[in-house]
Amino acid sequence: MPTPLIAVTTDAKDLEKYTWHATPQPYLDAAISTAGVLPALVPSLGDKYDLDSLLETVNGVLVTGSASNVYPALYGGNATDENGPYDHARDATTLPLIRRAIEKGVPLLAICRGIQELNVALGGTLAMEVHERDGAFDHRGDEEAAFDARFAIRQSVKITPGGCLAGLFDTSEIAVNSVHRQAASTVAPRLQVEAMADDGTVEAVSVKDAPGFALGVQWHPEYWAHNDNASARIFKAFGEAVHRHANARISARIAAE
Ligand SMILES: N[C@@H](CCC(=O)NCCCC(=O)O)C(=O)O
């Protein structure tokens, strides 16, 4: 069987007089080397292409992190200069893509901005500047630090017993990194909380009634997937779900012939 293809979301960025659709390399490395899948970057072009055709072609969707924030009007919030930057082209693509992937049972892994998009796509809301809440940890990465320090594993999260994450780990707590300013506020009704930080921040969710693997994490397993067991376990689980989906499709096609 050929290596299954997954869709990887992109940011729309203005650079050298063009709009580019790009994603950071650690997501691609983790997809290839740890999940064992072939990543294909999908442009943030909203309804300019047919998502259902895309989802017939790929066997998984990886929703990446980004420094930009989901546009607040999409969850009933107010945009401010301090809350940006925004990426309307990305929002117009990822939100419908997430909803359709869940409906069609295509495995979904949503990371950082991705878990926030998953929550908003299903009707949840986001809290801005979570580090400003009373008793909150500083979940932001150090902008001045080198990348390994910015993405250092430095925070513990408690895993909800009986959930999807609990099935991946034989421990109730794992250590993760943290590079975000926002987090889920009202959790969408279809989501179940899979992990929380000790300050009450929602750190992972899954889709309760999803026909396939559908997990969001607020941290960045892609960054250390090559040498941290907990990070690798998440990408391996996603990869296994993608392979199962691809095999099931092949079997269904053979049975229909
Ligand atoms: N912008 C949102 C989402 C956070 C996120 O995806 N961070 C990744 C950023 C990677 C980087 O800046 O190097 C938020 O801040 O909550």
Q: Which of 82, 116, 120, 144 to mutate to test the pocket of ligand 1 (most atoms within 8 A of CB)?
A: 116
- Looking at the structure of the chain, the number of domains it has is 1
Domain of 45? 5-256
222 in catalytic set: yes
pLDDT along the chain (257 residues), means of 10: 96 97 98 98 97 98 98 96 95 98 98 98 97 93 96 97 96 98 98 97 97 96 98 98 97 94
* Helix H or strand E segment including 40: strand 38-41
Q: What would you report as the CA-atom Rg of the chain, rounded to the nearest whole angstrom?
A: 17
- What is the pLDDT, as a whole number, of residue 1? 84
List C-alpha distances in Å: 249 to 18, 213, 246. Answer: 38, 15, 5
For residue 6, what are the β-bridge partners? Answer: 39
Whole-angstrom Cα distance, residue 229 to residue 51? Answer: 33
Helix axes of 113-121 and 88-104: crossing angle, nearest 10 degrees: 70
Q: Which atom of ligand 1 is nearest to the CA of 130?
A: 16
Q: Is the CB of 128 under 6 A from ligand 1?
A: no
Q: Is the CB of 72 under 6 A from ligand 1?
A: no
The residue from 117, 139, 222, 243 that is catalytic is 222
3-state secondary structure of 123: coil
- What is the pLDDT, as a whole number, of residue 196? 98
Q: What is the ipTM of this complex?
A: 0.97
Q: Is the CB of 67 under 6 A from ligand 1?
A: yes
- What is the pLDDT, as a whole number, of residue 235? 98
Structure-block tokens of residue 70? 């989901």
CATH of the domain at 69: 3.40.50.880
**Cα 91 to middle of ligand 1, angstroms:** 14
Q: Which atom of ligand 1 is nearest to the CA of 66?
A: 6
List C-alpha distances in Å: 36 to 115, 142, 225. Answer: 22, 31, 12
240 in catalytic set: no
164 in catalytic set: no
- What is the pLDDT, as a whole number, of residue 221? 98
State the DSSP string of 231-256. Answer: HHHHHHHHHHHHHHHHHHHHHHHHHH
pTM greater than the 0.80 cutoff: yes
